[in-house]
A and B are shown apart, each in its own frame.
Chain A
Amino acid sequence: DGGITQSPKYLFRKEGQNVTLSCEQNLNHDAMYWYRQDPGQGLRLIYYSQIVNDFQKGDIAEGYSVSREKKESFPLTVTSAQKNPTAFYLCASRKTGFGDAGELFFGEGSRLTVL
């Protein structure tokens, strides 16, 4: 079955460490996104990529980095420069093209806790 897989589901990290969250999709979608959600809050856009080897900063990119070397994969690195990294991270993808609603399909999320 097609879908988006995020791993790990839960992650604990010490302050000062970088951590990479994985996101893989087999939906053949061109566009992929990373969002962050804090308790009781909406989703805030970190980075997005509309095509392989290209990506753009979202609204809260500081302290994060991404790569898009393959269509299927869009890993997110939370660096030690991110001041408040404890959050629920959601990866999403969507089909792009004329006539499509282009709704986002989400992975199950990765919950990062910094100790």
Chain B
Amino acid sequence: GQNIDQPTEMTATEGAIVQINCTYQTSGFNGLFWYQQHAGEAPTFLSYNVLDGLEEKGRFSSFLSRSKGYSYLLLKELQMKDSASYLCAVREKITDKLIFGTGTRLQVFP
């Protein structure tokens, strides 16, 4: 089976750095995705990791350790518009299904 865990809620201050963790267990791993979802809207793609290490994309970075079943999303220079839910998702190798965690709701305060 599969299991994806993320913290339910986090808060941070504008201009700060925040790290959102994701741990997963899956029967076969074929990539990990991070999505951003604002309330009432569809998720939008942020990042993809399939090999160990850090992927950087502007203010956002994502890290993966396959041996530990662990990823994090790092958001730098936080802005108010970064207040959203952040969803971690894992693709299963055999079924090709993309399984989502319950998401982490981030609130950025001035």
Bound-state CA distance A59–B100 (Å) is 11
**Interface: B93 (CB within 8 A):** no
Interface of B is mostly: strand
Taking each of A33, A42, A58, which has the highest tally of chain B beta carbons within 10 Å of its own beta carbon?
A42
Interface residues of B in 83-110 (CB under 8 A from A): 87, 89, 91, 95-103, 105
- Known A42-B87, A90-B42, A108-B42; contact A101-B31, beta-carbon cutoff 8 A: yes
B97 near A103 (CB under 8 angstroms)? no
- The one of B33, B41, B42, B101 in contact with A42, judged by C-beta atoms closer than 8 angstroms, is B101
- The answer to whether A42 touches B102 (Cβ under 8 A) is yes
Contact A101 B102 (CB under 8 A): no
How many B residues are at the interface, by size bracket? 20 to 34
Count chain A CB atoms within 10 A of each CB in B48, B98, B103, B105 and give the residue with the most: B98
A103 to B102, CA, bound (A): 18
**How far apart are A34's CB and chain B's nearest CB, in angstroms?**
12
Tell me which residues from 41 to 91 in chain A have a Cβ below 8 Å from any Cβ of chain B.
Answer: 41-45, 48, 50, 56, 58-59, 90
Q: Nearest CB to that of B6 among chain A residues?
A: A42
B43 near A58: Cβ-Cβ < 8 Å? no
Contact B91 A102 (CB under 8 A): yes
Residues of chain B lying within 8 A (CB to CB) of residue A31: 96
A45 touches B42 (CB 8 A): no
**B contact residues around A104 at 8 Å (CB):** 33, 35, 43, 45, 98
**B87 and A58 form a contact (CB under 8 A):** no
Q: Which of A58, A96, A105, A109 contacts B97 (CB 8 A)?
A: A58
B41, B43, B44, B45 — most chain A CB neighbours (10 Å)? B43
10 smallest CB-CB distances across A and B, nearest first, come from A106-B42, A42-B102, A101-B48, A43-B100, A103-B45, A42-B100, A42-B103, A42-B101, A109-B42, A108-B42
Chain A residues in the interface with B (C-beta under 8 A): 31, 33, 35, 40-45, 48, 50, 56, 58-59, 90, 96, 101-109
Chain B interfacial positions (CB closer than 8 Å to A): 4, 31, 33, 35, 41-45, 48, 50, 87, 89, 91, 95-103, 105
